Chain A
Amino acid sequence: MPEVAAARSALPYDPATYKDPELVAQLRVRIARLADTIARPVKLMHICGTHEHEIGRYALRDLLPPSVSVLAGPGCPVCVCDNEYINLAIQLSLQPGVTVASFGDMLAVPGSIPLEGERRGDVRMSLLDARARGGDVRAVYSVFDAKKMAEANPEREVVFFSAGFETTVVAVAAMLRRGVPDNLSIIEANYYTPPATSLLPQLEGFDIEGFILPGHAVTITGLRVYDHLPALGIACASGGFEPVDVLASVASLLEQIEAGEPSVTNPYGRLVKWEGNERAKEELHEVFELAPMRWRGIAEIPASGYKLREPYWHASAARRFAGRLDPLALQGAEHPKGCRCAEVTLGQIRPNECGVFGTLCTPDSPYGPCMVSHEGTCRAWYAYGMHKESLRVELV
């Protein structure tokens, strides 16, 4: 693909290049040829919520041959966040003197505490419901807003709900290293993806042949952390988020599959390096260490989450408030009755195969976690109509 390469070196950071219809057309031809040569159905998976969002926004699945499918894997931080952390945030927000500061996407996610007075079914409480019941819940854009909030309100305890992957936890680490007010603590709900990708191939019926690696997270972690996957027979390619990026990753995966030589390639090389961002990783690992973590609806996976190291335990909300919480209420069934988010998250079913999709579960009243964030698979499918069999246009 010399044209793509040339365009990249000429205009490395102009996003318009990566939306260019001519480059997209060239990639489609290349993908179609590879699919013809492979001559059997191929399933690929991305593991980043933003990929699903962009695939929906540009309707990129329309551009692929019928034999090539791209499924959404466990890549939405809102969806995989275990309900223990959501329940913890809800309980804390209802404590006198405590403010919970959270990213906007986490506010509507149901945990496992039943919502009293609800008659529609097994509806669970979210942080928004906690706010409606008098809890102090604020939406913030970053952890630095939470810090400002703590400084401005020294008489209150401010708890930052630190959810997400490396893109959010690095900022938290940087802030903690530089010192925070005594009245600020964090809910440790940050996830590390590579161990989850090792688990997936062990699941019964797993037939994914290639992963599009999450472009934002691997900018920090680097690609080396995925180099165990080719040995399991899985092709890997880093994935950016513009249409040209996504299709270039698909093409790279198909090339590996066609050649029968899975490896880890880097089509998103303008931002991603093999070793990642050394400085960010250094700060991250000084403050956090990898620990076992529950992925909602999937399993507890060893070394798949970030927990504070001992010198930073003072900033752990779970430790600080341990005596004031009801530990039993933190546990609970992962998903409400009838919700199939677990299977959606693993790419085992499409969102519209779930019985509550679009009926009990809609973006304005999400029943399960995948319908909440714009990065959630169900939400993206609903918003962009990906469940509609045909958007064929007839003029008159």
Chain B
Amino acid sequence: MSNSSEATLAPPRGRSTSRYDTVRLAHGSGGKLTLELIEELFVATFSNEPLRELTDAAILANPGGRIAFATDSHTVKPAFFPGGDIGRLAVAGTINDLAVMGARPAYLSAAFLLEEGYDMEELERVVRSMKATADEAGVAIVAGDTKVLERGHGDGIFINTTGVGFLPDHVELGVAHVRPGDKVLVNGTLGDHGIAVMSRREGLDLAVELVSDVAPLNGLIDAVMQAAPGVRFMRDVTRGGLAAVANEVVLRQPFGLRVFDVAVPVHELVEQYSEMLGIDPMLSANEGKVLIIVAPEQAEAALGAMKAHPLGREAAIIGDIVRKPEGVALVETAYGSRRVLEMPIEEQLPRIC
């Protein structure tokens, strides 16, 4: 497992390097054990100058101009799932929030809420996975915090990451720039993460050979912005799936968003399990997908840039912006019939029949 391209797999199991097998309340007390955990695990793994100083705040270089700033808290069950874990999710999630604004993510902070008794070796795997993901994205984790909750008052592990990115002067993205005729693209198959995680939930235990798509997208987004400066709007497609993003785009806007059913890339296994469980891949979660709206004349250039990137090989133009109906996200079927693309309400659950 020395191959760094396998960063999406959980690091191998091994004996914990800590004196303790599990997280103690004292690890969050601010005393000796806290310092030990910070130095031996976080500083040693995340390994960068600002962090090594152990100051109250990281002092960072400022290249000037605008900064993008985002935060996100993460909880996932199970914490390790096919294709990723909560650490990779927490790092990629905030990087993607920054990247879709057109910013270049640079620094992250990581705050851990751990339940007393949490397995130390598992924590180390999560932290190594965060480091691998940050390296993949060229981002440094420069500040952090650890709190330990009494046993029974937490759910194993929660991670909050906050990130800073630098926004190039010319970048202006937003729904306000979207126009009828624009094209809508995604960088690959939809619904993989939702089904991969669901496949490992208690009570379902599907033997699905499917992995989550969790990945930092700043590299891919950078390539698209270079190839197609006419990008109008981007958003990472996460919980609620394509349906949630499409509905957010058209909310109170003087245009609609049309998705062509047959153009939406869906992994064969996701298709099959969605059919079986009665759920819709367009409403299923993703953690490594971005929806991009681009001026029509640059759609092919954007598509080409995505397809040339490892995280965009199955990219596709899935729809367009229409003048009417206004404020509606709709699906055009293979038969030419049309329906509303439902705004998701709750987490999707398998139906009675």
Q: Which residues of A contact B (CB under 8 A)?
A: 15, 19, 21, 24-25, 28, 49-50, 56-60, 62-63, 77-78, 103-106, 139-141, 145, 148, 163-165, 167-168, 216, 243, 363-364, 373-375, 383-386, 388, 390-396
Indicate if B333 sits at the interface (CB-CB under 8 A).
yes
Contact A141 B335 (CB under 8 A): no
Query: A60's closest neighbor in chain B, by CB?
Result: B337
Contacts across chains A and B counted by CB atoms under 8 Å: 113
Instruction: Tell me the chain B residues, 188-223 only, with Cβ under 8 Å from chain A.
Output: 203-204
Contact A59 B203 (CB under 8 A): no
Closest Cβ of chain B: how far from A74's Cβ, in Å?
15
Query: A49's closest neighbor in chain B, by CB?
Result: B353
A-B contact pairs, 30 of them (CB 8 A): A19-B334, A21-B335, A25-B335, A50-B278, A50-B351, A58-B333, A59-B339, A62-B335, A63-B335, A77-B352, A103-B351, A105-B352, A139-B349, A140-B203, A243-B333, A243-B335, A364-B346, A375-B353, A384-B342, A385-B339, A385-B340, A390-B325, A391-B328, A391-B330, A393-B324, A393-B325, A395-B180, A395-B181, A395-B323, A396-B180
Question: Could you say which residues of chain B place their CB within 8 Å of the CB of A374?
Answer: 278, 351
In the complex, A141 Cα to B340 Cα: how many Å?
Answer: 28
Query: A77's closest neighbor in chain B, by CB?
Result: B352
Partner of A145, one of B203, B320, B345: B203
Question: Could you say which residues of chain A place their CB within 8 Å of the CB of B334?
Answer: 19, 21, 24
Indicate if B184 sits at the interface (CB-CB under 8 A).
no
Indicate if B151 sits at the interface (CB-CB under 8 A).
no
Indicate if B168 sits at the interface (CB-CB under 8 A).
no
Contact B325 A141 (CB under 8 A): no
Contacts A393-B322, A394-B324: A56 and B339 contacting too (C-beta < 8 A)? yes
In the complex, A141 Cα to B279 Cα: how many Å?
Answer: 13
Give a binary string over B107-128; 1 marks a CB under 8 Å from any A CB, 0 the rest: 0000000000000000000000
Instruction: Tell me the chain B residues, 286-343 only, with Cβ under 8 Å from chain A.
Output: 320, 322-325, 328, 330-340, 342
Query: A61's closest neighbor in chain B, by CB?
Result: B337
Question: Could you say which residues of chain B place their CB within 8 Å of the CB of A105?
Answer: 349, 351-352
In the complex, A359 Cα to B351 Cα: how many Å?
Answer: 25
Partner of A393, one of B258, B333, B342: B258
Closest Cβ of chain A: how far from B318's Cβ, in Å?
15
Interface centre among A28, A62, A106, A168 (most CB of B within 10 A): A62
Query: B325's closest neighbor in chain A, by CB?
Result: A391
Indicate if B256 sits at the interface (CB-CB under 8 A).
yes
The number of chain B residues touching the other chain, given as a range, is: 20 to 34
Contact A375 B352 (CB under 8 A): yes
Contact A386 B339 (CB under 8 A): yes
In the complex, A165 Cα to B349 Cα: how many Å?
Answer: 19
In the complex, A86 Cα to B220 Cα: how many Å?
Answer: 51
Closest Cβ of chain B: how far from A30's Cβ, in Å?
14
Contacts A373-B351, A396-B181: A59 and B345 contacting too (C-beta < 8 A)? no
In the complex, A216 Cα to B328 Cα: how many Å?
Answer: 33
Closest Cβ of chain B: how far from A168's Cβ, in Å?
6
> Top 3 nearest A-B pairs by Cβ distance?
A385-B340, A59-B337, A104-B349
Contacts A58-B335, A59-B337, A63-B335: A394 and B350 contacting too (C-beta < 8 A)? no
Give a binary string over B237-257; 1 marks a CB under 8 Å from any A CB, 0 the rest: 000000000000000000010
Closest Cβ of chain A: how far from B200's Cβ, in Å?
14
Contact B324 A164 (CB under 8 A): no
Question: Could you say which residues of chain B place their CB within 8 Å of the CB of A77?
Answer: 352-353
Query: A149's closest neighbor in chain B, by CB?
Result: B203
Contact B337 A393 (CB under 8 A): no
In the complex, A27 Cα to B352 Cα: how many Å?
Answer: 30
Contacts A140-B203, A393-B322: A383 and B256 contacting too (C-beta < 8 A)? no
Interface centre among B324, B339, B342, B352 (most CB of A within 10 A): B352
Contacts A395-B181, A396-B181: A167 and B339 contacting too (C-beta < 8 A)? no
Contacts A163-B352, A385-B330: A393 and B256 contacting too (C-beta < 8 A)? yes
In the complex, A374 Cα to B325 Cα: how many Å?
Answer: 24
Indicate if B40 sits at the interface (CB-CB under 8 A).
no
Indicate if B145 sits at the interface (CB-CB under 8 A).
no
Contact A78 B352 (CB under 8 A): yes
Closest Cβ of chain A: how far from B261's Cβ, in Å?
8
Contacts A58-B333, A59-B333, A374-B278: A393 and B351 contacting too (C-beta < 8 A)? no
Closest Cβ of chain B: how far from A174's Cβ, in Å?
16
Question: Could you say which residues of chain B place their CB within 8 Å of the CB of A139?
Answer: 349
